[in-house]
Amino acid sequence: RLDNMVYRLGFAASRNEARQLVRNGHFLVNEKHVNIPSYLVKPGDIIKLSEKSQKIEKIKESLEVASRRGIPRWLELHLESFTGKVLSLPTREEITMPIKEQLVVELYSR
């Protein structure tokens, strides 16, 4: 999802903030404006902060924090051009959220 990529790349401090930034039209995917947070990004997609949004201090602060924290290996960030690229989809080992797969299977098998 685009909102998760915006958060993971460090453009936003939280997923809710990322969702709001996407909804307000601050991002382009492959040079096209996208304002749908649930937009599914694919490997090779380039996510760019719009020109007018590159001046927003809150986004700059979030990027500074993210550059110190680091971003996942399956993403690539270019701070100077305010762009990020999806290199691949994350593997199960790269997902940091605690997920109990068995509970998901049980839910959908009803």
How many C-beta atoms surround the C-beta of residue 53 within 10 A?
17
Q: What is the pLDDT of residue 95?
A: 76
Please give the structure tokens belonging to residue 4. Answer: 């998760």
Q: pLDDT tens-digit profile of 56-84?
A: 999 999 988 888 888 888 999 998 899 99
**Does the pLDDT value for residue 96 go beyond 80?**
no
Question: Across all residues in the chain, what is the average pLDDT?
Answer: 91
CATH architecture designation of domain 2-108: Roll (3.10)
Q: pLDDT tens-digit profile of 17-45?
A: 999 999 999 999 999 999 999 999 999 99
**pTM of the full structure:** 0.83
